[in-house]
Every structure is written in C-alpha cells, then in structure tokens.
Structure 1
Amino acid sequence: MSTSIVFYDIPSTLPNCCWSPNLWKSRYALNFKGIPYTTVWLEYPEIEEKCKEIGASPTRNKPDGRPHYTLPMIHDLATGAVISDSAKIAAYLDATYPDKPMLMPAGTAGLHRAFEDAAHALISPIYPYGLPAAHKNLNPVSAEYFRRTREVAWGKTLEDLTPKGDEDAVEWKKLKDGFGKLDEWIRVNGPESPYFMGDTPCYADLWTAAYVMWIRLVLPGKWEEVKSWHEGRWAKLLKGLEEYETVL
C-alpha cells in the first residue's frame, strides 16, 4: 500500500520520538483510519519554513500579530491538501476518507467540538507539569526554542512553572478531578464502558488518550499514580488503543 499522507511531527529523545499530545491526537487518528502515511520530523525552528513551503495556513497569530505556524500538519499527496491543527485534521480525514472507520460518527462533529472545549478546561492543570517535563526530552535546538517561547507565554521560567509544595497538592487534585469528570462521562454508557460512545472508540477517546500518553511518556513517576486513578480507567484506555500507537 503506497503512502498517501505525509505527517509532520516534532522529534524528541524518547523512544519512537513521539511525545506531544497534540501530535498524538493526529497520529492516533491516522492509525485509527488506517490511512498509509509517513512521518517527517521537524525541530521547532524548522516548522514555520516548512509550513510556508508547502502552503499550510497559520493556526493562529502571535501576540504581535504575525502568523504562527504549528504542528500537527499533514500533506495529503492524493489530494494536494495541506491541513494544520489536530481537530481540522480529524475532520478532513473523515470527510476525505469516509470509507475508513469514522473518527467522528455522523452527527457528532458538533458534540466533539463541545467535548474538546469542555475536556480541555477540565485537564488544563496538566500543563504546568507536562511542559517542563517535556522540555527535558527535546533535542537541543528545539529545547531552546521551547523554553524561550513557553517562558514568555507563561511569564515564568519552566522551573518555576512546576507546582511545588501546597500548590502541587492543589493543582494535582484539580487534574485528578478533571480526569474524574471524563470518567463520569464515559460511565454514563454503563460502569464497564471503555469509551465515550460505548464499545467503539471515537475521536474523543483518541483526544483523551493523547494527554494520558503525554503523562506516561514525560512524567513516568506521576504515571505510576495516574494509571490507578478511576479504577485503572486511563491505563485501560491506552491498552485498548495500543494498536493505534504505531509510528510510521
């Protein structure tokens, strides 16, 4: 089967290189759809040039108004389309390859958009933990860029960003409670339900798994606790989606 899609990802020093939750969302999606693809690895300073080269649109503007280019990004060689942003990539894959398993079953695109907004707010305490830990696993050229841009965005050093002492206890509980709410949503289908839509995974599950994977990869000490949360829900989620972890 020939390669149809080029998937752009950011390398790290971790096994298989993959580390970013936003990139995992799209890698999971490609593997779930079963669409042939190959990965091209770009360090952070290379992203803007490559995006402009192949005609990708910026995903947002920088504080000074200049366009900001980010990954994930795919280049579909079959159609010529270049798509950035994990949610837009998922929508594109479903629209262009409807004969493959659907990430967002018919009529659920709006619900998925609402899910992303709500779920992201619930688990946002993950960032002060994940960002400093992720930085330690980047190659030097990306590590410098990552530190500089994140410290500007957060207004503090990566070292100061990580919660400590009483703040750690409060913020970690917020994160656990956030995942607890996601667990509640899944259990609406029944106490043994593995996924948001019952027995079949959808994009909401892949989205959630991407953040769980981030914890497992860059916060291995914390993962020992997280995998026992909510009756082992999150370890079971990764296990259930293990076949979609392939790095091509």
Structure 2
Amino acid sequence: MSAHFPSMMGYRPILANYTLRHKDISYTRASISFESVEPTAKSVGAPHTSINADGTPKYTVPFIYDSTHQVAVSDSFLIAEYLDKAYPETPKVITTGSRAFADLVFDKFKPLLYVMAPKFREYMTPELIEGQRKAYGDAAVSIKLNREEEDAAWEQVHTNLERIKWEEGHHYVTGDKPVFEDFVLAAYVGCVQDVYGAESEEWREVSKWLDGQLGQLVEKICGQA
C-alpha cells in the first residue's frame, strides 16, 4: 500500500498516518510537492475531494492506493472508513460520531490555525507557498494577527476544547482504546508541539488543558505512530 503526503505533513495527512500505524498495516509513504498532488492522485486513480472556485476538480492529500485490493481512496476520514471495511481483522477506528466529532474539533481549533499560519510558513517550501497563493489567494499566505488577536484566539480555543466531553476515567475520548476521534484531537493539538517545539511555552500551556489530558493524548497517539 502506498500513502501520499506533502513534504510538510499537515493535520489531515497525519490522521491517515495515525490510522495506518494503529492498524499495523504495512505501507510506503511518499512525499510529494504541492504542484504534484493532482497528477499523482490521478495517476493512482484517487478521486478529487471537492470543487475549486472555477468549477474544476480539487485534489488534496492524503490519499492512498491499496495495491492488495487495487483501490484508491482520498480524504483522511474516508481512508479510515475504507480501512475498517477492507481490513476487518484490524482495530476498528470509525465510530458513529467520528465525522461529526472531526468537524466539531476543526471549528473549535480553527482560531489557532490563523495564529500558527506564520510559523507554518517558516517550514514551507517556496513552491508550496506559491501553490497555496494560487489556490487560496494572497491572504492565505500573508495572514498575521496582532498580539491582541493572538491572545484572544488562544483563549477562545482553550475555552472551546475544555467543553469537549471526555469519557470519565478513560485514557481516550470515547473509552480505553483509541479511535478516529482521538486521532483528530491529537493531530490538531499536536500541531502546537510541532510548530512551536516540545519545550515551548505554547506547548507547555496547551498540554495542561483538560487537566493535562490533551498533552497525555498527544504523547500516547504520537508514541504509537
């Protein structure tokens, strides 16, 4: 099986990575440039995931090609859903609430994505930055909040994540075993550690949220991956 990710792994490709590792499915990961996402996806038969403003198909990462069953799948949620069905002997990761939870966490975490945008750009290649500019406009690669806006965003996300219902007495969101919901939360929250560093003030603060459960979750999930 081959899994395709951009040279800088974002939270959605990380979700596919967590799923594949948790299921212990052997795979090869390929790093590709922003410009090669569409032709590479087409070459393995991976479907587009949405439509561009001009009406053309939009291809995104992650996508996988399962050589065992000769099937290509795009989108981290659909990949996890497919792997549950194609490899029933592996741990199931999708629950009835997985899709809704993923959407919920994105909405709750979104303010921090704007805060971290300048830091993300430090790790991006010029080609990736230009590709995002073409796809999403100048604002996507130039946004930078002032200090007051950043502080408000951190506080808002802290408040948002504190409202997440955690199964009492368990290590993971829904129980004793990790599922897609845990991967989603770890992928988003783990971005703070990846961008600012494990010893940063930002990560030390975030890792304490939810009585330290967020930091522990990232450690557990990343340790498995």
Structure 2: distance between partners of 1:132 and 1:139? 13
Aligned partner (choices 82, 100, 117) of residue 92 of structure 1? 82
Determine the structure 2 residue equivalent to 1:210.
187
How many Å apart are 1:169 and its aligned residue?
1.9
Q: State whether residues 129 and 141 of structure 2, in contact with CA within 8 Å, keep that contact through their aligned partners in structure 1.
A: no
Structure 1: distance between partners of 2:120 and 2:70? 33
Determine the structure 2 residue equivalent to 1:240.
220
Compare relative contact order (CA 8 Å, sep 6+) and give the higher one, 1 or 2: 1
How many Å apart are 1:141 and its aligned residue?
2.0
How many positions carry a matched residue from both structures? Answer: 222
1:114 aligned onto 2:100: yes
- Structure 1 gaps of 5+ residues are 13-18
Structure 2: distance between partners of 1:235 and 1:211? 12
Determine the structure 2 residue equivalent to 1:7.
3
1:75 aligned onto 2:68: no
Q: State whether residues 136 and 143 of structure 1, in contact with CA within 8 Å, keep that contact through their aligned partners in structure 2.
A: no
SS in 2 for 1:25: helix
SS in 2 for 1:136: helix
Change in Cα spacing, 1:209 to 1:96, as seen in structure 2 (3 Å) is same
1:196 aligned onto 2:173: yes
Determine the structure 2 residue equivalent to 1:125.
111
How many Å apart are 1:147 and its aligned residue?
4.2
Determine the structure 2 residue equivalent to 1:156.
139
Structure 2: distance between partners of 1:36 and 1:173? 40
Determine the structure 2 residue equivalent to 1:224.
204
- Structure 2 gaps of 5+ residues are none
How many Å apart are 1:139 and its aligned residue?
2.5
Structure 1: distance between partners of 2:32 and 2:115? 24
Structure 2: distance between partners of 1:146 and 1:219? 22
Q: Which moved more, 1:120-129 or 1:72-81?
A: 120-129
Q: State whether residues 105 and 184 of structure 2, in contact with CA within 8 Å, keep that contact through their aligned partners in structure 1.
A: no
Q: What is the TM-score of this pair, normalised by structure 1?
A: 0.83
1:30-109 map, 5 Å:
30-104=20-94, 108-109=95-96
Structure 1: distance between partners of 2:85 and 2:77? 12
Structure 2: distance between partners of 1:148 and 1:135? 15
Aligned partner (choices 136, 141, 154) of residue 122 of structure 2? 136
SS in 1 for 2:40: helix
How many Å apart are 1:148 and its aligned residue?
4.2
Q: Which moved more, 1:169-178 or 1:203-212?
A: 169-178
Structure 2: distance between partners of 1:77 and 1:71? 18
Q: State whether residues 23 and 90 of structure 2, in contact with CA within 8 Å, keep that contact through their aligned partners in structure 1.
A: yes
Change in Cα spacing, 1:64 to 1:53, as seen in structure 2 (3 Å) is same
Question: Any idea what the Cα deviations from partners look like across 1:97-147, whole Å, max 9, x if unmatched?
Answer: 01001112xxx33x1122122222222212202333222102332232234
Q: Which moved more, 1:76-85 or 1:212-221?
A: 212-221
Q: State whether residues 57 and 69 of structure 1, in contact with CA within 8 Å, keep that contact through their aligned partners in structure 2.
A: yes
Determine the structure 1 residue equivalent to 2:11.
21
How many Å apart are 1:230 and its aligned residue?
2.3
Report percent identity of matched pairs: 26
